[in-house]
């Protein structure tokens, strides 16, 4: 296993040897690394938790089509080993060799899209990722791209107008001209597994599934990560030292997607943004929930396995996966086993995973036309916020609109994502109509004893939980 990381920055391959460069650790964030470099002060530290976007950078890596894929990410949530084999692009890299600004920068300046300038580099980098992805110039798409970037002084209107002006007439830039050379340099970087050691830390970055399983078996107490958006907060906000980490983000088998027989199976390493696109047509409720998951920068890093494995009572995917009757495949060196989503979360931050197992994949079964699925998330703001209450609903109807099977799953109402069993039992066998749904609402209140915290009071949660079921019913009538 190799013990150094290599990546492309400023047109040169950078090599970091953690055993020799004692001021760096495997859990040093890319933001901290860049701020210590000369000539890279454009990246800013605003919140160090992925909320403000001032630290946004873009990562480029070879794609399957023979080009490069570009993703805007929060550098404050990115550990250095995640740069291995990729190109790191900062705001300083956007101008060409002749010192000309990138079209995005030029238009933003001309349209008065910046005042104090603290947030501007991050905004530019988010838009640059959008520019290079070939995404549309539609306002809602640009707003989604900027949902992870705060700007308190300029206001978004001139920023949005600048983006639309640039994106309606996208031209090749110097990155396009250098694409083949960049791809060749990145492909030449070894894809061998990494073991990165310092006196206080060891960071494993395996390339193949069998290596990952062996590491998990040998070091069951090590922290298993993929996107690391949660683990990074333990470092940046709690200042924890994480002594042993197994990072599965380079394991290709965990990124596989298979659609057959009406089922959709995707690996635990699939990112939330990829899942959003995968489920748009056949599982729109899942895609809708992904849309409210963090910002695009976070969705480019966070993964399905990370969200499920955290077993958070406000995890975004658990309620809708319960409604979809998802099956979770877990694996160890001893083989595979399947667990229904209903049985996967066993307690607060606890799952049915054994110490030597990983989440291999998730399977969503075919949804019949007679089945109605809905997903909802209530939070203090629509974008980039954690849930106050979330819900996933499933109602299967016969030809007479009689409920044959019902699931009402909630997050934020208990220590685990839970189902309102009394309400489900009451609905089964009854006509799917407003009167029946309204009779069910008191049973939802009886099913939970929510707490009051910084996000809301217990009474509010109870009322909202019932109202979401009523909203689901109304939505089914409007289709």
In three-state form (DSSP H/G/I as H, E/B as E, the rest C), the secondary structure along the chain is CECEEEEEECCEEEEEECCCCCCCCCCCEHHHHHHCCCCCCCCCCCCCCCCCCCCEEEEEEECCCCCEEEEEEEHHHCEHHHHCCCEEECHHHCCCCCCCCCHHHHHHHHCCCCCCCCCHHHHHHHHHHHHHHCCCCCHHHHHHHCCCCCCCCCCCHHHHHHHHHHHCCCCCCHHHHCHHHHHHHHHHCCCCCEEEECCCCEEEECCCHHHHHHHHHHCCCCEEECCCCCHHHHHHCCCCCCCEEEECCCCHHHHCEEEECCEEEEECCCEHHHHHHHCCCCCHHHHHHHHCCCCHHHHCCCEHHHHHHCCCCCCCHHHHHHHCCCEEEEEECCEEEEEEHHHHEEECCEECCCCCCEEEEEEECCCCCCEEEEEEEECCCCCCCCCCEEEEEEEEECCCCEEEEEEEEEECCCCCCEECHHHHHHHCCCECCHHHHHHHHHHHHHHCCCCCCCCCCHHHHHHHHHHHHHHHHHHHHCC
CATH architecture classification, 261-364: 2-Layer Sandwich (3.30)
pLDDT at 262: 81
pLDDT at 382: 86
- Crossing angle for the helix pair 103-110 and 120-133, nearest 10 degrees? 130
pLDDT at 261: 82
Outline which parts of the chain fall under CATH 3.30.390.50: 371-477
Outline which parts of the chain fall under CATH 3.10.20.30: 4-92+178-247
As a whole number of angstroms, the distance between CA 45 and CA 54 comes to 6
Taking 70 as the pLDDT cut, the residues of the chain under it are 1, 479
- Contact predicate 229/309, CB 8 Å: no
Cα–Cα distance list, 30 to 44, 83, 84, 294 (Å): 11, 8, 12, 20
pLDDT at 169: 82
pLDDT at 154: 87
Which CATH number does the domain 4-92+178-247 belong to among 3.10.20.30, 3.30.230.10, 3.30.200.20, 3.30.70.141?
3.10.20.30
Which CATH number does the domain 371-477 belong to among 3.30.390.50, 3.30.420.40, 3.30.1490.20, 3.30.70.920?
3.30.390.50
pLDDT at 479: 64
The contacts of residue 270 (CB under 8 Å, 6+ apart) are 254, 255, 257, 278, 303, 304
CATH architecture classification, 103-172: Orthogonal Bundle (1.10)
Outline which parts of the chain fall under CATH 1.10.150.120: 103-172
pLDDT at 20: 87
pLDDT at 1: 57
């Amino acid at each position: 296993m190799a013990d150094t990381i290599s990546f492309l920055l400023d047109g040169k391959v950078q090599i970091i040897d953690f055993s020799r460069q004692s001021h760096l650790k495997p859990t040093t964030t890319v933001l901290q690394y860049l701020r210590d470099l000369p000539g890279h002060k454009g990246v800013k530290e605003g919140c160090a938790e992925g909320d403000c976007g001032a630290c946004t950078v873009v990562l480029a890596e070879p794609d399957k089509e023979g080009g490069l894929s570009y993703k805007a990410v929060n550098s404050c949530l990115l550990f250095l080993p995640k740069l291995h084999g990729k190109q790191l692009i900062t705001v300083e890299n956007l101008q060409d060799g002749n010192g000309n600004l990138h079209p995005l920068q030029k238009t933003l300046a001309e349209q008065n899209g910046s005042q104090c300038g603290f947030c501007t580099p991050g905004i530019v980098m988010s838009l640059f990722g959008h520019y290079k992805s070939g995404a549309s110039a539609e306002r809602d798409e640009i707003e989604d791209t900027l949902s992870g970037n705060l700007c308190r002084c300029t206001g978004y209107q001139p920023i949005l107008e600048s983006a639309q002006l640039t994106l309606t007439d996208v031209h090749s830039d110097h990155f396009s001209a250098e694409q083949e050379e960049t791809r060749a340099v990145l492909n030449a970087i070894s894809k061998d597994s990494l073991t990165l050691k310092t006196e206080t830390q060891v960071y494993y970055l395996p390339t193949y599934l069998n290596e990952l399983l062996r590491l998990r078996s040998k070091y069951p107490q090590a922290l298993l990560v993929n996107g690391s958006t949660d683990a990074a907060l333990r470092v940046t906000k709690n200042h924890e030292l994480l002594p042993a980490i197994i990072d599965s983000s380079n394991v290709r088998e965990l990124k596989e997607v298979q659609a057959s027989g009406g089922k959709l199976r995707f690996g635990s390493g699939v990112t939330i943004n990829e899942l959003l696109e995968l489920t748009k047509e056949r599982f729109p409720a899942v895609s809708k929930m992904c849309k409210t998951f963090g910002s695009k920068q976070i969705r480019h890093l966070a993964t399905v396995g990370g969200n499920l494995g955290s077993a958070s009572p406000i995890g975004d995917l658990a309620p809708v996966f319960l409604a979809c009757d998802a099956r979770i495949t877990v694996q160890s060196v001893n083989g595979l086993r399947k667990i229904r989503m209903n049985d996967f979360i066993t307690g607060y931050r606890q799952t049915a995973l054994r110490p030597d197992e990983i989440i291999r994949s998730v399977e969503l079964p075919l949804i019949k036309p007679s089945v109605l699925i809905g997903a909802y998330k209530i939070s203090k703001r629509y974008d980039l916020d954690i849930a106050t209450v979330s819900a996933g609903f499933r109602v299967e109807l016969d030809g007479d609109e009689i409920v044959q099977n019902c699931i009402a799953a909630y997050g934020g109402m208990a220590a685990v994502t839970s189902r309102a069993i009394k309400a489900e039992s009451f609905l089964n066998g009854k006509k799917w109509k407003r009167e029946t749904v309204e009779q069910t609402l008191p049973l939802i209140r009886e099913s939970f004893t929510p707490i009051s915290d910084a996000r809301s009071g217990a009474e509010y949660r109870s009322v909202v939980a019932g109202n979401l079921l009523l909203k689901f019913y109304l939505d089914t009538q409007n289709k």
